[in-house]
Amino acid sequence: MLLAINIGNSNIDLGLYQDLSLIHHWCVSMDPNKTVDEYGLLFTQLLASEAVEVDQVSAIILSSVVPNIMDTMPIVCKKFFKQSPMIVGAGVKTGLNIRYDDPKEVGADRIVNAVAVKENYGTPAIVMDMGTAFTFDVIDVKGDYVGGLISPGIKITADSLVASTSKLPKIEIKHPRHLIGKNTVQAMQSGLVNGYIGMVDYIIKAIVKEMDLSIDQTNLVATGNYAELIANLSDYPIEINPLLTLEGLCLIYQRNIA
């Protein structure tokens, strides 16, 4: 079995593959202060909840956008699974030509997502990760990764709004029934959610124009905690795939053992 682990700023996604088919997946909170033993026990308990023994895991692939935890996670893999993980980064084959000024600057999650979209949806494509940050990554008609955009995520914006004002309350991030709020909570929810829908739609339109494409030609794929909330309300046909990063990790693992 292959254990795929993606470490984001807010969550850790884990996927267990058998014969390259996903059989179990989990999402847990990311805490950079957790120790090797705490993470090891957590992961083994997740496996045990599905009656999977630790020694059934024969390989691990790992991607992370959190540098601090990369001192911890390889030790977790070696101590609890007796495996040295394959880490997405320099020297790992992705099958993706990255046309960035410095390819090393591109986050591992963005590369992994682009690999999954190129393989499973085709190109050209816009890959959107709607999580702690909102990222937009562009794959051209030749299948090359050409760059993208990064903006603060909706929760970061909501937290900043509350922290920077005296009277605005913390709110649940959800789409209100009406655009025009009748109270402060509704007004904040509408401004946040509709503002991000507008941002997403504008950026899609602008990317398509800059790349000299049409919407009909371009595959639009979204993942991340807020993909269901935002992408479902877009004017564009965005495919939502919550398991996109795990799919990309599995593909990269295959390409490096072939």
Active site residue 140: no
Question: What torsion, rounded to 10 degrees, do the Cα atoms 109, 114, 117, 120 define?
Answer: -90
Q: Taking the CA of residue 230 as centre, how many other CA atoms within 13 Å lie in the half-sphere pointing to its CB?
A: 27
Beta bridge partners of 239: 221
CB atoms closer than 10 angstroms to residue 253? 20
Annotated active-site residue in 101, 102, 109, 144: 109
First-residue to last-residue Cα distance in the chain: 16
Beta bridge partners of 125: 139, 219
Active-site annotation, residues: 109
